[in-house]
Amino acid sequence: MTKPKLSYVALISRDIPAASHLLGDVLGLPVTTCPTEDGTVSVFGVGEAALALFAPGDRFVDGETRTGLHHIGLDAGNLDAGNLDAGGLMPAAATSDAPRFGLGGGIRQALSTAATVGVRVFLTGPLDIARGGSSRIERIDHLGIASTDNQTAIAAFSGRLGLPVESQQTDVEVETAIESFTSDKYGIVYHTRPPRVVGGLRVAFLTAGDCELEFLQNFDASHGADLRHGAAGNTRQDQGAITKFIAAHGAGLHHVALKTSDIDATLGVLGRSGARMIDTAGRPGSRRARIGFIHPGSFGGVLFHLVQRD
């Protein structure tokens, strides 16, 4: 069975000029104009994959008006109307939809969202665009996916589609209380209570070409979301964001993470360019990384963050 790799991510932005300026002019990613059913779109090469910007209501994104990540295209090799087996992936994905016009020409074949745990996925052929990164962005590090059950997601994307499991981990934020007993006769005694988990996420990374799909599952469903919008985040806030997203939209694509060699410098460049920032400096993240989020309003409603890691 062919192991597909990420070809592109379809993004819906309410402000394509602003998003294009940040991706192309500020971050330096190469851009190609690609034909679609309704005209052309800007496609930015990021390592071996690409980011394609669509306006709300575009037919290529099924007329969807909600901004954010709409679907991913997986390169399954040669794919044409007379050859829809795609290396054994088609039967595994249990799709029955007719082929559609692909990004840049050719066709794309939708997979059943029931077989891909709510993630919109298309199989497609190779995408002919300008590729590579820039002096600031190397590639897509991962795509964040809000998940209700990581083991089911692994069964779908690894078991059915053949994506290797890169790693799994649990991120938790804990609080430790310290009591003090102060006496005028016996002095001061300190007592540390057992740590208490206040937030967490179960995380699974599956490799799709030169990046990963990051499935994020709520660690503690009884924990109430504690969000301070526009402030630098932490593990508890990240958990709350995933919880709120699933409550509003269900499981699915959540954010794009771009890999950079110097996160503080790249966050600074974005901030000075006029982008609205959530994090102004890198903070601890999964896989011993430092991460930093850009406010989605800067990209017309698409959530991006940067990642620096070995």
Q: Please report, for the domain that includes residue 231, its CATH number.
A: 3.10.180.10
Percent with pLDDT over 70 in the chain? 86
pTM for this prediction? 0.85
Tokens of 111: 């997979």
pLDDT band at 230 (very low <50, low <70, confident <90, very high): very low
Compute CA distances 196 → 10, 176, 192, 218, whole Å.
40, 6, 12, 16
Q: Which of 305, 303, 265, 256 is nearest to 284 (CA)?
A: 305
DSSP 8-state class, residue 18: H
Give the domain range for residue 183: 5-308
Residues ≥6 apart with Cβ < 8 Å to 275: 22, 26, 294, 295, 298
| For residue 6, pLDDT beyond 70 | yes
Sign of CA dihedral 154, 155, 161, 163: positive
175-207: per-residue pLDDT in tens? Answer: 888 999 898 888 899 999 888 776 678 899 999
The whole-angstrom separation of Cα 207 and Cα 203 is: 13
Element (H, E) at 307: strand 304-308
Arithmetic mean of pLDDT over the chain? 87
- In the block, tokens 């990046």 appear at 211
104-148: per-residue pLDDT in tens? Answer: 888 898 998 988 999 999 999 889 998 888 999 999 999 999 999
| For residue 232, pLDDT beyond 50 | no
Dihedral in degrees, nearest 10, Cα atoms 16, 291, 146, 164: 110
The whole-angstrom separation of Cα 127 and Cα 107 is: 11
Q: Which of 102, 152, 142 is nearest to 125 (CA)?
A: 102
The whole-angstrom separation of Cα 11 and Cα 20 is: 12
Number of domains observed in the structure of the chain: 1
pLDDT at 90: 56
> How many other C-beta atoms are found inside a 10 Å radius of the C-beta of residue 155?
12
Residues ≥6 apart with Cβ < 8 Å to 184: none
Length of the chain: 310
Identify the residue with better confidence: 299 or 1. Answer: 299
